[in-house]
Amino acid sequence: MRKIFSSRTLVLLMVGFLVVVGLIAGSNWWAKKTNNPPFFQRVVNDLSGGMAKVISVPSNAVGHRANSLANLLNTFSENKELKGKLDGYAQNKVRLQTVEEENESLKKQLGLKKSLTDYETIPAVTISRSPTTWNSQLVIDKGARSGLKKGMPVMGDSGVIGILSEVNTVNAKVALISDTSEDSNRFAITVRSGSGDVNGIVTDYDADKKMLVMGSVPNSANLNKDDTVVTSGLGGKIPSGLLVGKIADVTSDSYGLSKKIYIQPSSDLSKISNVLVAKSSLES
């Protein structure tokens, strides 16, 4: 049987073993002398450190990406929450503004109501105002059951806004003073001027200027800008002394035979939520 190791191979292995042992012993001796790790330990440490570095690069990258994704998701969540809060603030702001406007309107009506001595008022709320008839009519939540009758004047927060044109059992239709149709209701008014009162009627509404028009006023009438205009009470159901507005401009008609008076309504016709229906003492 052939020998596994020849004498020469055995000698080489022993020499190699002695060399390795010698290197280890020398490395340990040198390490103790220089206070450094042994050579073989440094080699192993360097190799393990290099492997750890190689492994840590993709691990750190993955960890960084995961943290970035988590931060992004948190940011989306916080952004959604903040948007929800912002929408809530916006809604609360609109609600507060609406309540403040309603409160201001009611306060003005209360002051107006205190000045009404020859008639009583019936409060009502606007329940319908169509965009197609925005400048001509609206519907309120009181009707014949509350004592309302056709022809009664309706006031907003500061003065007359229209006349009841149709009265049902539990609601009524208001023909606004801004109605420009030919069959719209007109009413008698009085201009309280420093030189004396001047009676007349509302003959038209200028939609461009958003003003009432008082026509056929004699040229001899002394009327000036900012003169107060109220209802005259002439003609029946409309009490006298209801505020209509103030004179904004005094001009002549197209023929120069009479004056044409432009009146700025005292109430804002674009914001009508609460109204007062004036019921004359004669109606009672």
Task: Please indicate whether residue 1 or residue 197 has the higher confidence score (pLDDT).
Answer: 197
Instruction: Give me the pLDDT at residue 1, please.
Output: 44
pLDDT in tens, 32-61: 655 555 555 555 555 655 555 555 555 555
Domain housing 165:
119-284
Provide the β-strand partners of residue 280: 119
Tell me if 54 is assigned to some domain.
no
**Does the residue 151 lie in any domain?**
yes
Closest CA to 180 of 219, 207, 154, 208: 207
Q: Which parts of 115-214 fold into alpha helices (H)?
A: none
- CATH number, residue 239: 2.40.10.350
> What does the pLDDT average to over 139-166?
92
CA distance 13 to 21: 12
On the question of pLDDT at 63 being above 90, the answer is no
User: pLDDT (tens digit, 9 = 90+) per residue, 162-194?
Assistant: 999 999 999 999 999 999 887 676 889 999 988
Handedness of CA 11, 12, 18, 19 (dihedral sign): positive
In a domain? residue 90: no
Cβ contacts of 233 within 8 Å, gap of 6 or more: 188, 239, 240, 241
User: Within a domain: residue 94?
Assistant: no
Model pLDDT, residue 228: 92
Structure token digits, residue 32:
């103790």
Q: Residue 254 falls within a domain, yes or no?
A: yes
Residue 197 lies in a domain: yes
Highest mean pLDDT among 10-14, 21-25, 171-175: 171-175
Question: CA 116, CA 121: separation in Å to the nearest integer?
Answer: 8
User: Total structural domains in the chain?
Assistant: 1
Q: Which of 120, 167, 173, 121 is nearest to 144 (CA)?
A: 167
Question: Looking at residue 279, what is its pLDDT?
Answer: 82
| Residue 82 is assigned to a structural domain of this protein | no
The yes-or-no verdict on residue 13 having pLDDT over 80 is: no
- 162 in any annotated domain: yes
How far apart are alpha carbons 184 and 204 in whole angstroms?
Answer: 9
